[in-house]
Amino acid sequence: MEVPFQIFTKIDSKVDENRDWEQVLQKIGGYLCDSGAVKDGFTDALVKREREFPTGLQLPFNINIALAHVDPEWIIDTGMVIYFMLKPVRFRKMDDRNSVIPCQVIVVPLIKNPGDYMKFLSKQIKYVTTNEFVKLFKEHRFDKIVNDIGSLATTLFKKTVLRVIWWNNDKSKNDGLIKIR
């Protein structure tokens, strides 16, 4: 059976004024390590890279994302994380590390081939700057966003199967394979 492109997804409704980007990335990294998608040390590498090279990206329509990532050596399974936050967390801006922006979405690409990373990133940025994405986000239609991004990813990586894993309280809530073609 074909190895699917995996999307790990969480909707975080936590309202904690004191929560910071590092805590959120540690939560994401811990989940990915527990799932076996990444190697031990991934979480530390993710936090370190964000500290050195901020990834907060200010987008039109006042919905901002962080594109946190690590070097390919930490990745076991190709895929991505899409972490939606109903209460934004502040990340330093990619183009001005002295400024911070509230981010509502964290995207963590899990891409093994460095050449594929930039292609993947450009497709994702193109999608999240569309009116469609903004509309879906404001309507909390996260399942549709995940399917749209999954469709882009499976086309790019020539996969026919997408595995979407929704997690809640650090446990898999819904884990399903979706046949794309």
The per-residue pLDDT for range 51-109, each reduced to its tens digit, is: 999 999 998 788 899 999 999 999 998 899 999 998 899 999 999 999 999 999 999 99
Position with higher pLDDT, 100 vs 166:
100
Average the pLDDT over 125-140 and give the result: 90
Q: How many domains does the chain have?
A: 1
Tens digit of pLDDT for each residue in 5-20?
A: 888 999 888 766 678 9
Domain with 120 in it: what CATH number?
3.40.930.10
pLDDT of residue 56: 95
Model confidence, pTM: 0.88
The residue range of the domain holding 75 is: 5-179
Taking each helix axis as running N to C, give the angle between helix 142-156 and helix 114-128, from 0 to 180 degrees, rounded to the nearest 10: 140
Tokens of 65: 């994302």
pLDDT of residue 178: 46
What dihedral do alpha carbons 29, 30, 34, 38 form, nearest 10°?
20
